[in-house]
Structure 1
Amino acid sequence: MTGRERNRKIAVLCGAVVVVAVIAVAMFIGMSKSGATDKMTSAEMACGEDHVLVVDDAGDVYAWGHNLKGELGDVTCDNKSEPVKIEVPGKVIQVAAGNELSFALCKNGDLYAWGNNESYQMGDGMNISRMEPEKIMEDVKAIAAGSNHALAIKEDNALYVWGRNKDGALGIAESDCDQKDENGYACQSTAVKLMDDVTELSAGLDYSMAVTSDGTLYAWGSNIEGQLGLAKTDSTNADGQPYQSVPAKVMDDVSKVACGVRYQALALTTNGDLYCWGKNTVGSVGTRQVDDTENNIQTQPLKIMSDVKEISAGSAHSLALKNDGTLYTWGVNNYGQIGIKKGEFQYAIGEEMIYCQATPVELAKNVEAIAAGGFMSLYRSADGVLRSVGCNLYGQLGIGSEESSISTAHAVYLK
């Protein structure tokens, strides 16, 4: 069984059709390969389903992992198990990774994209996948990538959206979209304005979230797993599945938000309280408590931790970094992505056992930054070293190993 076939089986267990991951999270990177400490003060990282992007202090971009659609910026389309440098014009200050799609934001506000473009998710007006960075926007200050769509905040704090609009992912009417992809889904091929006064943003599989300057969290798109944190939505699709067609208020006093693929979402309040909601079949919500026991869904935000300063969500697992530097994780653990060999409970899919952790467990101490990929986890310790753990089917751990999964964290070094 291939890694992606196994992932699809896990998705079926959770009520999903396909599992993809996209979460973009800022990180610092440590130590050179020679062993000399190289603490970076402004480096960032973004994780897609199976690939990773990193920006070093010089503003250079490095990538590794899956490369079928050229998401590593490498025309060979070969997977890379160690970091390789991508040539992006200008000094890069932020990166974002979707499903086989990459973005890089330069200091001057220019936004570049490359990789999968079959649903117009690059935002360049075309549906031709590209293996090298292409400039698509100017005056951008923040970017987030969903599985097949993207969001950007411009310098005036206006939020723009583009890509696939399945189940209201863009927050605009399908009739307002200018294209359709090969599957017949409405798509917006270039960026259109959705909201004003936005400070934070995140996106998953066919859903999106944004925080305005007053701390209000808004959500829209697919709500099949309760991932919007809304007890009720305004629409249903042809299959009777719920979605929210326009941005709707979820909660107040939010400082940060993190979308998983489709199972869970997280919100961090200004006082450090962590709330989570969504599908809890594999422990993605971080508690055994749910308000819809029949479907095992937590439909509204539920507080699960305090004293938290950073959050990140992967396909069906999540990370939370507390103020004291302790890193906690929970959710599905089929590849060791939460840093332990098994978990609190397990499922059988055919002859394979899937291990899950329903409540947060400690992964590491003295951690300064975190990121959750599809089925992997990354963190930077106070010693300046970046470490990765979990799925490595396409080299996405960046450690040069051919092992398919690793449950003990290993150091990653930029070349």
Structure 2
Amino acid sequence: MLKDGEVYCWGRNETGELGDGSKVSKTQPVKIALPGGLTAIDVSANGRSAGSYSARTCAVLKNGTVACWGENVLTPTLVGQLANIKSISVGGGHVCAVDVVGGALYCWGRNQSGQVGIGDTFFVQFPTKIASVSDVVKVSAGSTHTCALQMGGKVFCWGRNFNGQLGLGDTTDRLTPTAVSALSGVTNIQIGDSHTCSLGSTGLHCWGSNQVGSLGINSYIDASTPQFVSLLGAQRIDLGYGNTGATVDGALWMWGNNASGQLGNGNQTNQPKPIVNNLTGVSSLAFSVSTSCALMDTGEILCWGNNTYGQFGNGTTASSFTPTPLVWP
């Protein structure tokens, strides 16, 4: 998405997740036509590869409605029953959106682990209000778990908890939002595949799956409670499928899964603690299954890791272990 609200997509497109009316992968950005010619204020995309591959993209439009595409819907299509939405997060098979009115939370989609948060494990076809949590300022949806940040810095998590990714001190799934009592003063929450991280007044904390060093605590042991990450001054965070990144004064630090070179340090060795990347002037981060991208202060976009489907947006499918510039058509 560009700062003027136009949406561009590129990369894998097997289920129409790019929204250009086809199922053909694109190696360069393609402008997507949104309903009513509207622009977007927020965009999120995710998918799942367990079983049959599927992926979805959703955008919050300027008028507060939501359009989604993918999962064999080839162009942006309005989601009924939603209005006044300010932000959205797409998980592996479910979606959650935050309403501007009272911070109400709506979720729908796959729910086999209770990740929708309505108290059962049945598929939820339509956006459903999660009545047990309000005053939500941010929601983050992972593969099979979800976390919400409440006004005032309180965190709630629910869904799959096999690796302790809910931060509740155990590995029991939760079917409704449950407060993470160990956290307070949180300002940002982000979910990866099976791990979670938060930023706040007490610093950076991560928990959940850690077999590839995703938590940044210099070990490979899972943690079911928030663990302090020794990276002072972290400002922005993003999580992928086992990899984690944070910025400190615009400099990029990364750790965890590096099987596809997604840490951007020139090799494929997993890292259990933060290591500095050579990038400075990083404005924001976006990580997928095996590809990492950064938006720079200059407006340039750099990507690294796996590029099999053209995820770099540079017109090729050549992968790289170091940051590579996107090329606008």
Query: Structure 2 length as normaliser, TM-score?
Result: 0.91
Residue deviations 1:63-95, cap 9 Å, x none?
A: 001101100012220111110111003111110
Residue deviations 1:38-83, cap 9 Å, x none?
A: xxxxxxxxxxxxxxxxx11332110001101100012220111110
**Structure 2 residue aligned with 1:68:** 14
**Structure 2 residue aligned with 1:131:** 74
Give the secondary structure class of the aligned counterpart of 2:20: coil
**Structure 2 residue aligned with 1:333:** 258
Cα shift at 1:270:
3.5
Cα shift at 1:289:
4.1
The 1:112–1:365 alpha-carbon spacing in structure 2 relative to 1, beyond 3 Å, is same
> One-letter code of the match for 2:76?
P
> One-letter code of the match for 2:153?
G
User: 2: distance between equivalents of 1:373 and 1:203?
Assistant: 13
Residue deviations 1:194-248, cap 9 Å, x none?
A: 1211001101111100011011011000011111111136xxxxxxxx3112111
Residue deviations 1:345-364, cap 9 Å, x none?
A: xxxxxxxxxx3111111112
User: 2: distance between equivalents of 1:286 and 1:412?
Assistant: 28
**Structure 2 residue aligned with 1:274:** 204
CA RMSD of aligned residues (A): 1.5
Cα shift at 1:321:
0.8
Q: Answer yes or no: is 1:201 the counterpart of 2:139.
A: yes
Unaligned runs of 5+ in 1: 1-54, 117-128, 175-184, 234-241, 291-295, 344-354
8 Å contact from structure 1 (residues 331, 357) kept in 2: yes
User: 1: distance between equivalents of 2:5 and 2:224?
Assistant: 40
Residue deviations 1:288-316, cap 9 Å, x none?
A: 247xxxxx211110110221111100011
**Structure 2 residue aligned with 1:18:** none
User: 1: distance between equivalents of 2:152 and 2:293?
Assistant: 31
State how many pairs are aligned. Answer: 311
User: 2: distance between equivalents of 1:76 and 1:226?
Assistant: 39
User: 1: distance between equivalents of 2:125 and 2:32?
Assistant: 25
Residue deviations 1:344-401, cap 9 Å, x none?
A: xxxxxxxxxxx31111111122222222222111112233311111111111111111
% same residue: 32
List aligned pairs for 1:371-410, cutoff 5 A.
371-403=286-318, 405-410=319-324
- Identify which of 136, 152, 155 aligns with 2:97: 152
- Mark the structure with the bigger radius of gyration: 1
Q: Answer yes or no: is 1:299 the counterpart of 2:224.
A: yes
User: 1: distance between equivalents of 2:294 and 2:160?
Assistant: 29
Q: Answer yes or no: is 1:165 the counterpart of 2:111.
A: yes
- Identify which of 370, 385, 395 aligns with 2:285: 370
Cα shift at 1:409:
0.8
8 Å contact from structure 1 (residues 198, 212) kept in 2: yes
* Higher RCO, 1 vs 2 (CA within 8 Å, ≥6 residues apart): 1
**Structure 1 residue aligned with 2:45:** 97
User: 2: distance between equivalents of 1:112 and 1:380?
Assistant: 24
Report runs of 4+ in structure 1 exceeding 6 Å deviation: none
Give the secondary structure class of the aligned counterpart of 2:21: coil
**Structure 2 residue aligned with 1:310:** 236
Unaligned runs of 5+ in 2: 48-54
User: 1: distance between equivalents of 2:93 and 2:22?
Assistant: 23
